[in-house]
Structure 1
Amino acid sequence: MKASRIVIPKQFFILYAIVFSTYVIIPSTIFSQSFNQNGIQQYLRKGKHLERLFPDSAVYYYQKGLEFLDSKQLKDRSLSLKKIDLLIRIGVIFHQQSKYSFASDYYLKALNEARFISSDSLIAECNFNIAEVCLENGSYSKAVKLYYKAKGSYEKIKYKNGIFWSNIGLGIVYRELGNTKLSKKHYELARKIGEQENNKLYIAISYNNLGNLFKQIGEYETAIGYLQLALKSFEEYGKEKFVSDCLESIGELYAEIGNHERAIEYFKKSMEIAENSRDKYRLLSRYANIAKSYSNLKDNKNAVMYFSKTVELARAIGDKSRLSEILIMVSNFYRKNYSMGKALLNLKKSLLISEEIGDTVSFASGLNSISELYFLKKDYKSGYNYALRAYQISSKKDLMKTLAKSSLNLSKILELWGNYKDALYYFKIHKKTSGFLLNSKKLKIVEDAEAKYNIERIEKEKLKLENSALRGEEKLQRRNILITILVIILVLLTIGSVWFLRKKRIEKKESSENSLRMKRKIDLLDSQLNEKNRELTTKALLISQNNEVLKDIVRSIDGYLKNKNGDKNELRRLKNRLQEIYEEKSWGDFLQHFEQVHPQFYKKLLSRGGDLTSTEQKVCAFLRMNLNTKEISQLTSQSTKAIEVMRSRIRKKLRVSHEESLTKAIQSI
């Protein structure tokens, strides 16, 4: 498997989207129409809120925002800026999910909008994002063109951050294409920008990429120096993902020099960080390297487990470049286990993918592997053709590792054919390139350099422990002070709680006594009210009895009037006077007493039923006194049936339903 590339640009192009959204897109939209602003801001706000934890939901709201803008059918710069912001945000989410085709579509749409409004900064941003997708997909030729376009636009607007990342992207692409010279050139340009801006993180990133480049071409002493510098800086800054990449690079270096146990240690440290951050792209590389190392150690059980994880994850991500590398690794594994058919099948699949995406390193490595397989199968002609093709590509692209392997393969086959002259020629090339790649002196230098780094790290950890001890003492003092304050607060709270509970008990006792006094007072008032009602009842009965007497007198007078003798006018006047007494005067006395007991009753009654007759009003008064129909009949000298009819009329006039008691309804007035 070729040296892994650091995936920093994929992480940082998200920062670009945020920067341009903040400093270019959002400020430019301030003067847009209010109805457009309110509508689109609602979708943006919801999307941003969900973007981190629920990216698919964020995409839904961003797409709703795009539909909202499209429905307005307005060609306005501020709306175009909003649209670009939404398109880039959706593209970023799909890019993070490794859905490269979807990400590319949205970035292209954003690019078209940026061209429409002639925004150099946004055009550069979109070209950079599309280049990132091409890099992930292995479309290196397209990636180179787009990175150069983005870099040119960034240089035009003098945006150093964009120029830095464009150089890093170009360095990675050229490294994948096997162009060491151009790769180193762009990494050095990126490092110079970091030095000019005094940005230590940029310098560390440049060191990391330079370390990977020198590791790929076999200059291990230089590689370990750069990688240790980068790892130290990343650990100081707490950049976990970058630490993970750097640890993997060091592990790959140890794998290349044959120390696979040490390589696995670094790979697993790197894997733990990738698993914690749920970074599928990084995990793919870690699984593959661990599987390869276990295979080299002939630990087939662990090798198969990690190969399975690698293939499954590669298919899920859809990264063709990585899939090509993994197929070569799987093929090598089958070859070591004498399954030549499966080994050859996986190699040919890898070659097709590598040729499709223009991955020169993987392609040359695959050709060498097929050559070796055919050699084992004693198909020397096929083996020679594949080795020669690998040799030609490696020589042209300055790929020292694949050149050493292809020259050795050619030498072996030519020797079997009896062509000793050419065999010796290729063997010398093999010895020369192998000696350049690795010798005992270089191995010692690598281990010495790492030992030096480990000593520095141990000293640094010792210093950290000492500082931690001092901080621990300070924390202990602060904790003791805090405990004292808490104890004082607790004592005060206890005193306050006791006082509060005592006060509540006193208040409860006083409340209970007040309730008892109020109950007694209410009972007294109820007793007085009942007494008044009994008094009114007695009065009413007395009036009724008097009325009966008066009625008898009236009947006697009527008999007298029927007698032809006597002064009829005088008697008639007497009769009228008596009627006035028992119909009005007596009732007036009763009403006076009733109003004393039940003040405002008639006023409230008439407000509800203003058309009640005087007789009906009397019946209402008796009902208010809680008298039944029979008792009211006796008091009014009317039949119970007449009283029932009158009750029905009262119920209707007062709008009392049949389900409700008329007596209770009147008593509630």
Structure 2
Amino acid sequence: MILRGKLMKYCLNIGLALALSSAPLFGQRPEALKEIGIDHPTLLKSREIFPMNIDSAYHYLKAAQKDISQENLKIQSAYYAYLADAEIHRGKLNLARAYLDFSKNLLDSTANPLLFAHNQYYEALYLRESQQLPAAISAALIALRVFENHQDSSWIALSNRLASGIFYLQGNLEDALAYLERSIAINNALNLESELAADFHNKALILVIQGNVEESFSLLQKAKNLNLKNHNLGWLGRNYHALAYHYQREDYSKCEQYIDSASSTYRQIPDLGALINLKFFEARLKVRQGFYKRADSILESIREMSTDELFLIKAAEYYQVKAHLKAHLEKWEEAFNLQNRYLSIQDSLDHLEHQAALEIYKTLHNSIIERDKLEKESEHLQYLNSKQRYIAIYVSVLLILGALFIYQLYRNQRLKGRQLERERNTFQRDLEFRDQELSAIALNQAEEAQWKQSIMARLEDEIQKPGPVKADSLKKMLADLRRSANSKNQWEEFEMRFKRVHPSFYDKLQGLAPDLSPAELKICALLRLNLSTKEIAALLHKSVKGLEVDRARIRKKLGLTHSKENLTKFILSI
């Protein structure tokens, strides 16, 4: 049984990402939209696509932007609200904020209360995702009251579910469950199985915190069965995903089965973003299990399957998990570099969102100017040309220009930072290449030494055989080989290159152990290249046993006699 405290942490950190953040996915049925006067075919179609593939729905909306601009303000307002909804689910809150502001500017709240409530609903979604919970619950309850006054059952159920999710985030489980039960009652009366599946999924997350694990699991199974029946793949994938989380600490086998089911479902939609989120969960799971190679393989598969745009969005999480993996492998330098890359990319993503938001505000400004030109021909010409309106436009222009100026300053700083990062990366790659080059030289010398030792051994055998052997000639050859094998030229060239690559190595080493002999320093240099005992023994014309004695002497001088630390790892850390 999982402890209650762990369940709370699990649900708040994981469950909300799977369900509550996806609350509106299945509430945008064409009938519900028509009830509030949104009957444009493009908008209706996009909301049908949305639960199956968010990116497809988003691109479908973007492709229709020119046509929508010719429609009335009610349709345009709904259009930008849905773009904001898509950006909320894509995690781009700055863009969502800009689209919501655009939608509000096109909407007269007194003219159509239902559209006003519709806009408040998406405002609550945005505020919830940006963790402004008091304001979020206020907007959600305003929307709920308006829909209740107009007896719009579908939107009443949706608003209850949204309010439930916000109360859940505030830790108010009692109200969260009460509002969700209202949504369940309405959807049950309307016999909306797909909506009930979403409610059951969310209720399961509340119950598991309250300690009712069995009922929570039962509701997840109900939700899964309803989604299978109605072929609601978007929620079905999330059901499998949640069940995988449910089993991650109790039964790895079942956890992996549900991961496979979720993966298959996300591929079928297809929902690449959800699939990549699942892969990140699987990678973290493998790190926790100690399967580090498998975790690394999963991370590489994420990089391969991602589009350039999607990987840019996911890169921060990729490097964060990669850093976690390297830390488990005790590769601290790599972990530190990956963590820095994660922080750098996170800053870049924030910058890109700000840049896109500025573009949307520029579009908003241009749209207002264009709309004003058309309305000059109407009977409201004098009202629209009032001093207040021009002052508002003037202030808008100043704000946009100021924002663009600030962005330019920020961009210049970011470019300088990226240049420094590239230079650091280039230096690191050059250092690694030179280490590889030194290792190759040392290994080649070791192989050459082994070959010469073998020739010398064979020549000695020939000299000792009875019979007419040209002993003088063979002895001369043997002497030449010995002189070649004992030549210091190759080692001097190697040591010169080593000091160029690692200029402070010998100084640091002698600072730790001033009494190290030149021969012992030579062994330490070869250990710094991560050569094996056998390779070093061959290179120095020693036996493996003799080299092990030398290593023990070095450990003693470095003060590692009573330590379990590996000598090679210690040398590599210098």
Larger radius of gyration: 1
Q: TM-score scaled to structure 2, two decimals?
A: 0.48
Taking structure 1 as the reference length, the TM-score comes to 0.42
Higher relative contact order (CA 8 A, sep 6+): 2
